[in-house]
Amino acid sequence: MWLQPMVNLFKMDFRRFISNKMMYVLLMVFSAFQIFGIFMINQYEEPTEHGGLLTSAMNESQFIQSMLAQTPSWVMIYIAVFTVYFYMSEYNSGFYKNYITLSRARINSVLSKILIQGVFTLFIFVVFILSDLIGRTIFFEQATIGDIGYFVKLLIGQIVLHWSFSIMILCITIIMRNIIASIVISIALVLNVFGMVLGVLESLITDLNLTSYLLVNTITNRTIDFNNLGDFIHVFSVAIIVMLVFSLIALNYKIREDLR
């Protein structure tokens, strides 16, 4: 069966993923900093720019959008670090040479890593939400979710956007084949350096606001209304296009890559 080699490779990557101590360390550190961040917000809380709403009075949907709109986004930083680490740990060990000569191994290797990034993105969002609820319960003395329908749509949209971000980082890592260079570029993306530069250039040329369709700009846009069909389509269009473009680039590069 043509799908079996892909399944076998994913199982191998998944075992490496589940047994990876670095992954658990990242998630625990992320959780600790998220809860500590809520404590600090409670200590120095001020009304937000949007309607003077106190952060402690927000429901979970509002809180998530507020946190993800901050630059740099800690969620994107941890996703970027794990993506680079997971790929480069296999590459630097030379383990990939054990299977790379098999049929469709290069394609399956990239597809497997993309799926693993999706699993990690799901994991970090689960930890993100649980940490928020724990922190808000302890320090804000409330942990309301808000409208469940909106909450679910927000989570689906943000998970898909962050998964597409991890694929972009994976593509960069495959091309660079260097941990430091990949991390530097990743941090520049998280800080939205490229988005800000393009935004300034766009403001000098046109008022079309095309930069709002950039991935990081979409992730950090707190004004997106997931109940609005236009905004929902915007989110998924950006995510799917980024996924397809960077997956194809990564696959094409991996197929042509020389073994080292």
Grouped pLDDT means (10 residues each) for the chain, 260 residues: 77 91 93 93 69 78 90 92 93 73 79 96 97 93 90 96 97 94 94 86 78 89 90 94 96 79
Overall number of domains in the chain: 1
Confidence (pLDDT) at 204: 80
Cα(26)–Cα(80) distance, rounded to whole angstroms? 11
Confidence (pLDDT) at 102: 65
Query: Does residue 179 belong to any structural domain of this protein?
Result: yes
The number of helix segments (H) and strand segments (E) in the chain equals 10, 0
Task: Find the largest Cα–Cα distance for the chain.
Answer: 60
Confidence (pLDDT) at 196: 87
The pair of structure tokens assigned to 64 is 């998530």
Query: Does residue 50 belong to any structural domain of this protein?
Result: no
Query: Does residue 52 belong to any structural domain of this protein?
Result: no
Confidence (pLDDT) at 96: 67
Query: Does residue 53 belong to any structural domain of this protein?
Result: no
Query: Does residue 158 belong to any structural domain of this protein?
Result: yes
CB 31 within 8 A of CB 115: no
CB 219 within 8 A of CB 162: yes
Confidence (pLDDT) at 107: 87
With CA atoms as reference, report the closest residue to 38 among 164, 130, 157, 166: 130
Q: Report helix, strand or coil for 67.
A: helix
Confidence (pLDDT) at 26: 92
Query: Does residue 133 belong to any structural domain of this protein?
Result: yes
Query: Does residue 100 belong to any structural domain of this protein?
Result: yes
Domain of 65 in residue numbering reads as 4-43+58-256
Query: Does residue 174 belong to any structural domain of this protein?
Result: yes
CB 179 within 8 A of CB 84: yes
The pair of structure tokens assigned to 256 is 């042509």
